[in-house]
Amino acid sequence: MGTATRVDLPEVTARQAQFPPASSPSFYTPLLRSERPRARDLAPAEADPALAEYLREWQRNMARENKVPAYIILHDSTLEELCRRRPSNFAELKQVPGIGEKKADVYGSELLQALRNFGDGARATQTTAKEPAPAEQTLRLLNEGRSFEEIARIRARQISTVICTVASLIETGQMKLDPKWISPDAQPLIEAACLKQGVERLKDIKEAVPPYVSFEDIRLVVAHLRAENRLSAKTA
């Protein structure tokens, strides 16, 4: 019986090198949808703080001219995207999230001009004036006769946040409770519940009053009672 002779098959060997077996680490496997890089993960251009401040100043000026809150002109997320993308024409501008056809038509020309001005060297005006604190803003708007709903819209806050600020102003003696802020007939019920439950836990007071009395009602009346108690303690 003859000795077996090994025969090399160069074509097969070359083909194996070109297409490695599935167990090989280099074997091609398509990326799953969840593994594919998303557009937002592809290292966007770094936002320029100077450009962000310049666009915020433009935003404030436009809001003042149009007598609308600043967030109506541009949301913060849209402003950040503008800083990263720096569109130079209407087509690019409309690709920025938060800027649709209507906003591009209304503010597009001025916005593109602002971006060009920044590119030519314009910068935000340096100012030492501080932005008023939230409580100061709320107090000023209340003194102007604004409702809680109007203040929430102007300051881009939830109504509950505005009421918490008002309660703090009442409790610290910076303003008095206005009965019109409370649901009809709710104040005496809340005050009676506070006599039994105290003024520390709003939840206990809520359980002691009718369902139509809201936490906002309770928060404002409790702030008023705390202010009165503090004043009584000082004069005693």
Q: What is the pLDDT of residues 137-188, one digit of tens each?
A: 899 999 999 999 999 998 888 898 899 999 999 999 999 999 999 999 999 9
Query: Tell me, what's the pLDDT at 233?
Result: 58
Is the domain covering 49-119 a CATH 1.10.150.80 domain?
A: yes
Distance of CA 51 to the CA centre of its chain: 20
- Tens of pLDDT, residue by residue over 36-64, are 444 343 334 456 888 988 999 999 888 88
The pair of structure tokens assigned to 46 is: 């770094």
Query: Tell me, what's the pLDDT at 235?
Result: 57
Query: Tell me, what's the pLDDT at 200?
Result: 87
Rounded to 10°, the helix 159-171/215-235 angle is 10
How much is the average pLDDT of 69-74?
85
Q: Domain locations in the chain?
A: 49-119, 160-235
- Under DSSP, the state recorded for 133 is P
Query: Tell me, what's the pLDDT at 34?
Result: 44
pLDDT band, very low/low/confident/very high, at 218 (cuts 50, 70, 90): very high
Cα separation, 69 vs 73, in Å, equals: 7
The pair of structure tokens assigned to 15 is: 């083909």
Query: Tell me, what's the pLDDT at 38?
Result: 43
- Tens of pLDDT, residue by residue over 88-116, are 999 999 999 989 888 888 889 999 999 99
pTM of the predicted model as reported, rounded to 2 decimal places: 0.46
How much is the average pLDDT of 196-200?
90
